[in-house]
Every structure is written in C-alpha cells, then in structure tokens.
Amino acid sequence: MNRFILNTVSLTLLCSVAASCNGSEDKAEKAYKAASATFAESSERITKPDTDRQRDQAKIERQNQTMVPITQTLKDTEAGSAETANQPVDAQTEKVTASACDAPELDDIAAVSAAFKGPSVPKKFPSLLPVPVYGQVSAGEAVTLTPSTIIQTQGSDEKLILAANYLQGTLRASTGFSLPINPPAADKAPCIKLEIRELKDGDARVAPEGYSLISGKNGVIIRSPSAHGLFNGVQTLLQLLPPKIYSSTVQTTNWSLPAVNIVDWPRFTYRGTMLDVARTFFTVNEVKRYIDEIALLKINHLHLHLTDDQGWRIVIDEYPALTQMGASAQTGSPSDLKQRWFYTREQYKDIVTHAGSRFITIVPEIEGPGHATAAMASIPGLTCDGQKPPATPTTDNGVNTPIYCLGGEANIARTKTYLKTVITSIAALTPGPYIHIGSDETSASAEQMTIYTATAAEAAGAAKKTLMAWNELAKGKIPAGTILAYWAPSSSGHNLNEAESGLKQGARFVLSPASHTYLDFEYGNDPLDWGHSWAGNIDVKKSYDWEPTAFLNRNGKNLLSETDVFGVSSALWTEYARSQTFAAFSGKSTPGFPPMIYAEYMTFPRLASTAELGWSPKVSHSWDAFRVRLGDQGARWEAFGVGYFRSPEVSWTLPSDVFVLDQ
C-alpha cells in the first residue's frame, strides 16, 4: 500500500502513531509528551514504531548496505582489490580492452553538434524530468539489461568510482544482476560505460555537469568531462528504464530502454533545496534518505538550516552549551531540558559524505544576527550589557527579534569571537565552498549588518569559503561574489532595495521566492491543508510557472540577467512538521504524522518544479508538457517509496501493481 494515498486507513494508522487527530491543544500536548518520551538523550531520535516507519528504516538500511561507503570504495580502488562475494564494489585495476560499448552506433559526435545548435526534444520522447537540452530517438534497437550486463569506466576523475558505485548499487537492488565494474573478461554484453571525456572542448556550460547519453542494442555510453556529469547521466538512464528500477527489492520485468541520443547540461549552477532541521529535528538517516530523494531530480545543493530561535543542532567543541542548552527544544516542544536534538560532528560529516556520494553539496547555515535565541540562551555574552539573555530557546513558531550585540567595544568583541569560532568550526567539517550566515528578519541596522558580515567574511575567507545569506545581508556592505538567496515573496520595498544593493556590490543570486518555491506552504488544493499560507498557497502550477530572471524588477525592468542568476532553491521550513505543532499553531485539526511524512508530502511534487526551472533551457519551459512528464514521475516515486501529494492538477501514470485507494 502506498503511504501517501491518504484515506481513512492510513489516517487511522497515522493518528494512532504520533498524535491527536482532533487538534485540541490538550490532546496534542499529551501526544507530544508520549512521542517525545521515546526520544533518546542524544541526537538520534527514535519514534514509536509503526509499520510504515519500520519499512522505511529497513529500506534505508538495505540501501546503505547496497551502497558502499565512499571511503571504503576509494580505498578498494586505490588498492586494486579483487572482487569478493560480499563486496559490492567490483572496482578493479584491470581494464576492459574492448567490449560491446565500443560499438560504432554508440557515437555521440552528431548529437553533440546538433545540441549546440539549440535545444530540441521531439514531442514523442521518453518522459524525462527535468527535460534535457537535446534528445533524439535513434533508429537502432532498444537495449535490454541482462544478468551478464557489465559496467565499464574510462578516464580519470577521482569521483568516477562514486558514479559507478551509485549506478551499480541502484541497478543491483532492483534487477538482482551483479553488474561488475570493469571485469577482466571483455566479451560480456550489453554494457553500460561511464566515460570521462570532453563533449565540446572547454565549453563552460558543459564542463561541470553536462553529459551525453547514447543507447543502442549493445549498450549505453554516458560521457562527460566530469564525474558529476556522469552521475547526472546516470539519473537520466534510470528514468529511461521501467519505474521499478527504483525499487529496493528485486523485481522481475523486461529491463529495456529505448535507443536514444541525449545531450544535456544545466541552465543554472545552483539547483538547491533547504531543510530546516532547527525547528524540527531530522535524524541522520532521515536526512540521508531526503538526500537520496532529491538527487533523483538532479538537485545539487542541500542547504541545512542548522540554527534558529528554537534550536541549535551542531556540536561546536568550543561552546558545549550550544548543544547542551541550545539543542534542548524544537518548535512546540515543552522546554523541560530533558531532550537534546543535534548532530555530533561525526554525524554531520556522515551526512556530508553521503551527500557527496550523490554529488550534492551541503550548505550549512548558521543563523544570525537574529533568529538566534537558541545561541543567545546558550552564550549569555552574546547579548548587550544590561540586556537579560533569554533563558531558553523559544518554543513558539514566531520570530524573536533580539539580535547578537553588535554595538559597544566589549560586546562586539564577544560576538566577534563567537562568530569566528563557529564559522571556523563548521567550515572545517564542510568540504563545499559555501557557508550560509542567515541575516533574515532582523532589527539590525545597515551598520550592524556590516559589522556582522565583515566578521563572518574574515572567518569564512580564512577557511576559503564563500558567504551565502538571505537578501537582507545586502542592506549593509557585502563582499563581491557573495551569494544572496532572495526569499521575499515580492519584488518590492526594502527587499528589492537589498537586491539592488547586492547587485551593485557584485553578488550572485539564488532565487528562492517564498511565493513560488516554499515547500512549507499549503498546496491549496489538497484535503490536508498542511502548512503556512502567509504569502498565499502554492499549487504545483504556481511552483512551476515563474521565470527566475524576471522575478526581480523595478518599474517593469528586470534586474537580473541570465548570468546574475546563480540558481534556484526551494525551502522546507518546519515549524509545522509535526502534527501536534501544526494543530496547536494553525488551529486546524489534522491527522497525526511523523516529520518525514510531512517533509516528503510537502516536497514532492513541488521540488520537481524548482529542479526543472534550474536545469532545463528557458525555451523548453511549458506547464502543459511538464505536467505530463510529472505524471510519469509518480510511478518512479512509488517504486522508490517516496511520499508525494498526488495533486489533482496532474494525471498520474501509475504502475499497474500500485494499490490505489479511493480518495
């Protein structure tokens, strides 16, 4: 039974698991206490078992077994270790000299030059999401994967093996085929080859993430100048196969894919989404699972909102109070200081490594100078002299206005030490190039914001990181190259001034307007009505139908050119991610739901819109075409086990073996 086809059966199940279903505060509070009693005094949360959750957990564990940890993989590769029965990595030093992948029909030269003449995908083409730049059905025969199919790699890039392992692990789980990587015998067919190779010499659009994919009766070749491009090609390959390919258990079907030529590269560099683990905590396994889900859409950044008024979620060795005190609450939790919700440094690294194996960069956000009650309750010196520090993190769902002290010599010194320490500490754990420093919704003056930015920039610069922040940062001075995430729902007022100031100072922009990209907003056409609606509802069409370069304009003139837009991002804020807080703060009655159910339901399908806006050429933008392809994506999510809202705006194509309930 699919988890997200919500009906009375699943509602009863959910209600019995997590919380009250009638929305009364009293019952919600009791339900919360019952649920939180099962939370260990550590960062790993254990919720009451329920069948769906156990199944998910089992799935994560199975996947983790199938996917080989990178460190082990790289070590094995370096050592050139031989294949053993228990070792899913078949990486060997011995190279295949010739194989089915050398067949002449698997040549991409014509397709690459056609693609560079302009985007083109025929109307009748396999359903891909995001839609590629160029696609052509070729005259050749389809290819069918068999138990003797092999994976071959060629070229050098230290991350090539990650793409190959991911391909092997995913295909192996559902086909049951062994799919050795670079086995000594060359006569096995068909083959899937991942090859590091230039497509169009030095072309800046293709180099970081572009790829070509050619399939024909002998196999499939994916070529790219980078391992990341190969991984993107692998995601396309999965979408060309039957949806059951996403299953974590062995399935029987005809694993064939059509003969096609695809050449593809992203429109924007940054295609991201944000997960707020401060308002509601998500366990390491939940975050990893979310990473696996977003990777299917070629999303390449996960921004983790690690701190806010309601919680601080990462260990900073120099300030143990940040997790002793700062991690003692979540939105809506009673602040009885009995629980702690945070990631140890090892756990954070584990998340970063897992993300890396899916070519996703983690962008950690340390909020300030506002939205920082949890930090100020933990470190009393952050408030100005004479100001009473907050006693605990806040547990309501509002915004707390006090900001770090950014005035007076002694006070500034304390704030500066704290900021530099925290940024240096998080930078040391983060291989990605960005540190996000918040800056939204504060009472900070331009001068105070400038002090805040300069201090953070010094620490980030020393760690060779680029600053990222919400648009409000540009009310003060910012370093050139700063990445501003524009979140305001409109293009007017002080937010527009900030965008203009940012532009003048050399910022690059990630468009994340609340009105179109926020995943915590009500769909407006679903029966559950979960989420905020402070800037309106966001149905799927609204999440898709906007243009990043046209969002910011003054008197009808667009502010941003194509190159000013660094990318697009969605955001899942989580004040409402637990049923009891949703019921208590929204006043709406709701069935109980665990946070991960909320996260998936609110994220999918809307994240697909952001993914396509970020990836596909502007000229390919079409709601009518998108909604058909989105309908086909449903079957893939079903097979993967991703919960999603089956919006009535879309005709969902379902696999015949999915159990559909009356709605």
Binding site for ligand TNX (CB under 6 A): 440-441, 470, 487, 514, 518, 520, 532, 573, 575
Q: Taking a C-beta distance cutoff of 8 angstroms, is the pair 243, 633 a contact?
A: no
Least spacing, CB of residue 614 vs ligand TNX, in Å: 19
Q: Which is nearer to ligand TNX, 245 or 437 (CB)?
A: 437
Q: Which is nearer to ligand TNX, 218 or 400 (CB)?
A: 400
The span from the CA of 661 to the CA of 663, in Å, is 6
- For 274, the 3-state DSSP assignment is strand
Q: Which is nearer to ligand TNX, 278 or 419 (CB)?
A: 278
Least spacing, CB of residue 515 vs ligand TNX, in Å: 11
- For 162, the 3-state DSSP assignment is helix
Least spacing, CB of residue 537 vs ligand TNX, in Å: 12
Least spacing, CB of residue 569 vs ligand TNX, in Å: 11
Least spacing, CB of residue 16 vs ligand TNX, in Å: 29
Cα–Cα distance list, 22 to 203, 478, 645 (Å): 58, 48, 22
**Which of 645, 649, 620, 624 is CA-nearest to residue 547?**
620
∠ CA 284-288-289, rounded to 5°: 115
Report whether the peptide linkage leading into residue 648 is cis, meaning its omega lies within 30 degrees of zero.
no
Q: Which is nearer to ligand TNX, 50 or 441 (CB)?
A: 441
- The tally of CA atoms less than 13 A away on the side-chain side of residue 319 is 30
Q: Where are the beta strands (DSSP E) in 384-537?
A: 434-436, 466-470, 483-486, 508-511
Least spacing, CB of residue 403 vs ligand TNX, in Å: 14
Least spacing, CB of residue 514 vs ligand TNX, in Å: 6
Q: Taking a C-beta distance cutoff of 8 angstroms, is the pair 383, 405 a contact?
A: yes
The span from the CA of 403 to the CA of 53, in Å, is 39
Q: Which is nearer to ligand TNX, 56 or 520 (CB)?
A: 520
Q: Which is nearer to ligand TNX, 244 or 313 (CB)?
A: 313
Least spacing, CB of residue 520 vs ligand TNX, in Å: 5
**Which of 601, 600, 583 is CA-nearest to residue 592?**
583
Q: Which is nearer to ligand TNX, 487 or 582 (CB)?
A: 487
Q: Where are the beta strands (DSSP E) in 456-533?
A: 466-470, 483-486, 508-511
Q: Which is nearer to ligand TNX, 384 or 499 (CB)?
A: 499
Q: Which is nearer to ligand TNX, 251 or 310 (CB)?
A: 310
Cα–Cα distance list, 627 to 121, 143, 406, 548, 609 (Å): 16, 28, 49, 19, 10
Least spacing, CB of residue 327 vs ligand TNX, in Å: 18
Q: Which is nearer to ligand TNX, 546 or 623 (CB)?
A: 546
Q: Which is nearer to ligand TNX, 351 or 514 (CB)?
A: 514
The span from the CA of 475 to the CA of 505, in Å, is 11
Listed in sequence order, the residues at least 6 apart from 583 whose beta carbon sits closer than 8 Å to its beta carbon are 19, 20, 23, 24, 25, 28, 589, 590
Phi, psi of 303 (to 5 degrees): -90, 120
Q: Which is nearer to ligand TNX, 129 or 602 (CB)?
A: 602
Least spacing, CB of residue 4 vs ligand TNX, in Å: 22
Q: Which is nearer to ligand TNX, 232 or 491 (CB)?
A: 491
∠ CA 446-451-457, rounded to 5°: 120
Q: Which is nearer to ligand TNX, 68 or 514 (CB)?
A: 514
Q: Taking a C-beta distance cutoff of 8 angstroms, is the pair 428, 459 a contact?
A: no
Least spacing, CB of residue 546 vs ligand TNX, in Å: 17
Q: Which is nearer to ligand TNX, 573 or 585 (CB)?
A: 573
Least spacing, CB of residue 270 vs ligand TNX, in Å: 16
- Which DSSP symbol is given to 532? B
- Percentages helix, strand, coil for the chain (3-state, rounded to 5) are 35, 15, 50
Least spacing, CB of residue 452 vs ligand TNX, in Å: 15
Listed in sequence order, the residues at least 6 apart from 66 whose beta carbon sits closer than 8 Å to its beta carbon are 88, 169, 170, 172, 173, 248
- For 538, the 3-state DSSP assignment is coil
Terminal C-alpha separation, the chain = 14
In Å, the largest CA–CA distance within the chain is 79
Least spacing, CB of residue 325 vs ligand TNX, in Å: 21
Listed in sequence order, the residues at least 6 apart from 465 whose beta carbon sits closer than 8 Å to its beta carbon are 423, 427, 430, 433, 434, 435
**Which of 129, 300, 297 is CA-nearest to residue 209?**
300
Q: Which is nearer to ligand TNX, 105 or 440 (CB)?
A: 440
Least spacing, CB of residue 470 vs ligand TNX, in Å: 5
Tokens 């990777």 sit on residue: 295
The span from the CA of 628 to the CA of 438, in Å, is 37
- Residue 92 tokens read as 């060997």
Least spacing, CB of residue 532 vs ligand TNX, in Å: 5
